[in-house]
């Protein structure tokens, strides 16, 4: 499933929805019950992920939506190193939500230097982090009303984590062309410390790795660093589109 945006975009795709293992891990995840056929569960995760990603970019001139695709022409497919008749995204920036197990963190972004950036966010990592950070391990299948409430809370949190991780990967898209401090650390003694906002808060989208708050909150509780706001405005709105707080260009020089 996923999301995407018109001028950035993101796509949440091919998510395998399984749950019911108290502490999901690389060793046991294939044994989890697949509830992908229960549409209300899928809709809950997808809706919560899309909502979080929309909020993350609500202050910028961009539309966030589910990704769409078209059948590419022979030339388009060859340019993308795909077979003729390939399916290509309609959006410029997109994020896949992936089902396979991974050890590479909440998400990853590649490409972007010579072609369009490609991002993936991992469903299992979000589920694993929700279970361990929030201690949410509801019974499955839910039987009582309490079970159902706990299970619904789990799905919401997994979706929030996916949406916030997708926003982080979008930050890496911006980083190809504009100065934005990605993978920063909340530790102010670190060489790559996150820039505090006016409330001295560093609960940022740009933080490297998962943090507990990423599964509990959406924007503005999780937010962009002050300088990132300018960089993202310029990425989506063009170099001239910026608010009164952005007094300089964040564009990186182009090297050929």
The 3-state secondary structure of the chain reads CCEEECCCCCCCCCCCCEECCCCCCCCCHHHCEECCCCHHHHHHHHHHHHHHHHHHCCCCCCCEEECCEEECCHHHHHHCCCCCCCEEECCCCEEEEECCCCCCCCEEEEECCCCCEEEEEEHHHHHHHHHHHCCCCCCCCCCCHHHHHHHHHHHHHHHHHHHHHHHHHHHHHHHCCECCCCCEECCCCCCCECCCCCCCCCCECCECCCCHHHHCCCCCCCECCHHHHHHHHHHHHCCCCCCCCCCCCCECCCCC
Binding status of residue 227 toward Zn ion by CB under 5 A: no
Nearest distance, CB of residue 175 and Zn ion, angstroms = 9
Nearest distance, CB of residue 210 and Zn ion, angstroms = 11
Closer residue to Zn ion (CB): 147 or 183: 183
Closer residue to Zn ion (CB): 35 or 224: 224
User: Residues 13-32: x/- map of binding to Zn ion (CB under 5 A)?
Assistant: --------------------
Nearest distance, CB of residue 208 and Zn ion, angstroms = 6
Closer residue to Zn ion (CB): 18 or 172: 172
Nearest distance, CB of residue 99 and Zn ion, angstroms = 21
Nearest distance, CB of residue 111 and Zn ion, angstroms = 14
User: Residues 176-195: x/- map of binding to Zn ion (CB under 5 A)?
Assistant: -------x------------
Q: How far apart are CA 110 and CA 117, in angstroms?
A: 6
Closer residue to Zn ion (CB): 20 or 183: 183
User: Residues 135-174: x/- map of binding to Zn ion (CB under 5 A)?
Assistant: ----------------------------------------
Closer residue to Zn ion (CB): 136 or 184: 184
Closer residue to Zn ion (CB): 183 or 227: 183
- The residue number with the shortest CB distance to Zn ion is 183
Q: How far apart are CA 212 and CA 140, in angstroms?
A: 23
Q: Which residues bind Zn ion (CB under 5 A)?
A: 183
């Amino acid at each position: 499933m996923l999301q995407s945006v018109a001028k950035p975009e993101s796509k949440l795709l091919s998510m395998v929805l399984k749950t019911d293992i108290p502490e999901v891990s690389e060793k046991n995840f294939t044994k989890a019950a697949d509830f992908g056929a229960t549409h209300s569960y899928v809709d809950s995760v997808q809706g919560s992920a899309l909502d979080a990603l929309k909020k993350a970019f609500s202050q910028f001139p961009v539309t966030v939506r589910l990704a769409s695709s078209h059948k590419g022409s022979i030339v388009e497919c060859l340019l993308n190193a795909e077979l003729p008749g390939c399916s290509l995204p309609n959006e410029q920036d997109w994020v896949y939500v992936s089902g396979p197990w991974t050890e590479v963190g909440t998400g990853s972004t590649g490409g972007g230097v010579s072609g369009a950036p490609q991002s993936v966010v991992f469903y299992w990592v979000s589920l694993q982090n929700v279970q361990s950070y929030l201690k949410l391990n509801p019974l499955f299948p839910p039987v009582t009303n309490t079970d159902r409430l706990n299970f619904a809370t789990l799905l919401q949190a997994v979706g929030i984590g996916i949406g916030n991780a997708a926003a982080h990967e979008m930050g890496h898209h911006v980083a190809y062309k504009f100065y934005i401090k990605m993978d920063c650390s909340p530790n102010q003694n670190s060489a790559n410390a996150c820039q505090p906002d006016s409330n001295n808060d560093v609960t940022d989208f740009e933080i490297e790795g998962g943090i507990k708050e990423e599964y509990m909150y959406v924007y503005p509780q999780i937010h962009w660093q002050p300088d990132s706001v300018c960089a993202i405005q310029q990425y989506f709105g063009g170099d001239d589109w910026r608010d009164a707080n952005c007094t300089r260009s964040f564009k990186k020089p182009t090297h050929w």
